[in-house]
Amino acid sequence: MTIYDACESSPQIRLSRRMRIALFFLVEGVAALVIGLAALFLSFDPAWSAEQPHHAVLRPSEARSGSLLLKTDDGYADATRLGIDVDLTVSGPTVRARVTQIFRNPTKDWMEATYVYPLPSGGAVDTLKMVVGDRIVVGDIKEKQQARAIYEQARQNGQKAALTEQERPNIFTNSVANIGPGETVLVQIEYQEPVQQSGNEFSLRVPMVVGPRYNPKPVVQSVDLRADGSGWGAASTDPVPDRDRITPEVLDPAEHAPINPTNITVRLNAGFPLGEVKSHHHQVKIESPNNATRIIKLTEGPVPADRDFELTWKPAAEKAPSVGLFREHVGNSDYLLAFVTPPAVEQAQQKPLPREVIFVIDNSGSMGGTSIIQAKASLLYALGRLQPADRFNVIRFDDTMDVLFPTPVAASSANVGTASSFVGALQARGGTEMVPAMRAALSDSNREDPNYVRQVVFLTDGAIGNEQQLFETISALRGRSRVFMVGIGSAPNTYLMTRAAELGRGTFTHIGSVEQVDERMRGLFAKLENPAVTGLSAKFSEANADLTPSVLPDVYRDEPLLLAARLDKLAGSVEIKGRIGDRPWSVTLPLANAAEGKGLSKVWARRKIADAEVARTTRQATPEDADKTILALALEHQLVTRLTSLVAVDKTPSRPDGEPLKLAELPINLPAGWDFAKVFGERPRQPVQPAERRADTGDGKVQVAALKRPVPVATPSPGTVQLPKTATDAELKMIAGVILLTVSLLLFMFTRHQTMPN
């Protein structure tokens, strides 16, 4: 008997015929819907295996909002907490930054805390201070292994110690040992970097969160062993040998309030009367002591560390200064920093050559959320700027790749329309196999055609751990192509972007929000469509100079040429020459007129270290020679590098003998706008017990009950913990569920037809 029949025959139910029919439809429809939704729910497989615990709070009644729980031998306790204070002082062409990390241990245990955090890739980290109570311990630069050994010994001895290590030029780790119960320890680092300039605008950027990295599976090579016993063994190579060092725990924002509150203050002394000063991603309040100075603070105090802080400023006059020259005397040397922006000059004798543009768009899981919207809007804008004489192609990649046309095609309205439809349909999913896409983009079937300027426009967040493989690919295959990197999202990998653009003889543009698409893409196309300044050289009339970069790069419209040099004397002048399109160009700067600058020696040394890293990548220097250069510069100028670290040790032991030391690897926020499920997979239906983690002293154990490290990787190696990729096949599961739902509804309609009264 159907619901309709029951209503028709029951004497207790007095309903009109129309109402009974409506009730029948309603109840039967709900039943079908429930069946369909159940099928949809059951079509989802958990994206985490039993070895992949999710960030589930196992004892939520004991946790405050946004807090984490540590499972100890005798129960649960709050995890070590972190607060961050960033203080920046802009003095003309340079930024001096002081970053204070405040580690508080609310537990009853002695703790060791480690925290992975980002810094600007061009920042020269030169100072470490540890503040314990009323004592300040200043760190020393040591070779990396030596610094680690000093830290480990202090940790075992019960002494408070801090260690700052570079994992990438833009990723650092701070470790703090022996934080006592209820204690707070401050770790303060400082760095120096040049300001950035583009046309009429100056800027600085403070990265605040390390975006989760996709780490490709290690490549294992093996051969069959011969029966005669003279076979070969197996060889293994890992494209990301330090994957554990760059993949901190990431909290699911659906289950945890934001953490790591950060306060930011900028003291801006531009050196010229200021016009507009703007924070692009944070609300700020601005004080104006005078026409050349601004003090910028966050409007509502500390904010979660989940997106980059970007500040831009413009001069009060219509045009920014086109030349800047600054000096600093340190030791027996003079250091020079020069900014020179060539004038915008159009081609005089000939029209610009048509372009062959290869657009590459990253649609991997880390691009989920707002990033894919920004990337698609940027690429659609770029397609609309193509001229009929141009030709183009579009490549999209995640852990697979599609090339839209077999070869580059003319930028006709039909072809551009096809490409626009292709881009509009893209969804974010899968891993981030960037190297094959770059290889395909640099494959130049028309390399013998001199009538086209070849450009690669690469849109991505750069969230990979195998940056070195990408750099080697660009260095080996770039040919006549120029690579223009477009960084997408709230926390792009700027180290990858800037180095890839440098190796590809192009530029880096960042788009942090949809509102920036038009402005930033217009700026990029001003570079793409106008002649670069090429053939640049610099000659000093009297001084002997150690110049960086040693080979001057091409610069594009509205870009300054940034030179740093160490001189034996501050005398004479420097002449810079080049060609703008088909015209010669030169400018001469008298060194005696240079203004006083701060931290220029650090900027020079950091750029020289970057030169050595590039020479290592391009094989212009052997790894041994490059490392020797890097180590000598780092020790002389007291900088943290791939080969050196800062270590600070409080001489007085504080942890009593016999007291265990427990490890807390502090988590980070998911970058703003990212989709957690796209990066780490769908949430499981049931919470899973977390795996035990042990501090490597061996004398204490601790479980992080609120989190487990989810790392976006490719397929796991046999015998290892299976980790999530940067997306799941949830979309396919959802489709299956929808099909089941549709079938249920069809069955309902058929039943209704059979039971409808005449």
**What 3-state DSSP class applies to 732?**
helix
pLDDT at 458 over 60: yes
The predicted pLDDT at position 480 comes to 93
Average pLDDT on 580-598 reads 92
pLDDT tens digits along 395-425: 999 999 999 999 999 999 999 999 999 999 9
Residue 589 lies in a domain: yes
pLDDT at 350 over 70: no
Contact between 605 and 548 (Cβ < 8 Å): no
Q: Which residues contact 393 (CB under 8 A, 6 or more apart)?
A: 358, 359, 403, 404, 405, 407, 408, 409
Q: Which residues contact 227 (CB under 8 A, 6 or more apart)?
A: none
Percent of the chain with pLDDT over 70: 76
pLDDT at 169 over 70: yes
Same domain, 488 and 518: yes
Q: What is the DSSP string of 680-714?
A: H-PPPSS--PPPPEE-TTSS-EEEETT------BS
Same domain, 383 and 330: no
Average pLDDT on 710-724 reads 37
* Of the candidates 318, 314, 320, the residue with the CA atom closest to the CA atom of residue 294: 314
Same domain, 341 and 424: no
Residue 593 lies in a domain: yes
- CATH number, domain at 456? 3.40.50.410
Average pLDDT on 436-444 reads 96
Residue 646 lies in a domain: no
Residue 26 lies in a domain: yes
Same domain, 469 and 454: yes
Same domain, 523 and 580: no
Axis crossing angle, helix 600-617 with helix 494-503, rounded to the nearest 10: 70
pLDDT band of residue 378 (cuts 50, 70, 90) is very high
Q: How many Å is the Cα radius of gyration of the chain?
A: 30
The predicted pLDDT at position 236 comes to 52
Contact between 636 and 331 (Cβ < 8 Å): no
Contact between 367 and 488 (Cβ < 8 Å): yes
Average pLDDT on 127-156 reads 96
pLDDT at 188 over 50: yes
Residue 396 lies in a domain: yes
Domain boundary among 491, 511, 529: 529
Return the higher-pLDDT residue of 375 and 722: 375
Same domain, 489 and 592: no
* Of the candidates 337, 265, 754, 320, the residue with the CA atom closest to the CA atom of residue 564: 337
Residue 104 lies in a domain: no
Per the structure block, which two tokens stand in for 668? 């980070």
Return the higher-pLDDT residue of 689 and 514: 514
pLDDT tens digits along 642-681: 999 999 999 989 999 999 999 999 999 999 999 999 999 8
Averaged confidence pLDDT in the chain: 82
Domain boundary among 637, 668, 693: 637
pLDDT at 38 over 60: no
The predicted pLDDT at position 697 comes to 38
The predicted pLDDT at position 754 comes to 54
pLDDT tens digits along 616-640: 999 999 999 999 999 999 999 999 9
Give the E-state strand segments of 292-414 in sequence order: 293-298, 303-304, 309-315, 323-330, 333-340, 355-362, 391-397, 401-403, 409-410
For 609, the domain range is 325-345+533-637
150: region left, alpha or beta (phi > 0 left; psi from -120 to 50 alpha): alpha
Same domain, 334 and 418: no
- 193 C-beta neighbours (distance < 10 Å), count: 23
The pairing of strands 293-298 and 303-304 is unpaired
Same domain, 474 and 564: no
CA distance 80 to 67: 10
Same domain, 455 and 467: yes
| Number of domains composing the chain | 3
CA distance 151 to 115: 15
Same domain, 445 and 488: yes
**What 3-state DSSP class applies to 473?**
helix
Same domain, 493 and 579: no
The predicted pLDDT at position 648 comes to 98
CA distance 545 to 563: 11
Domain boundary among 495, 529, 563: 529
Contact between 524 and 552 (Cβ < 8 Å): no
CA distance 463 to 674: 12
Residue 233 lies in a domain: no
Q: Which residues contact 107 (CB under 8 A, 6 or more apart)?
A: 70, 72, 77, 78, 79, 80, 181
pLDDT at 750 over 70: no
Same domain, 483 and 591: no
Q: What is the DSSP string of 332-345?
A: TEEEEEEEE-----
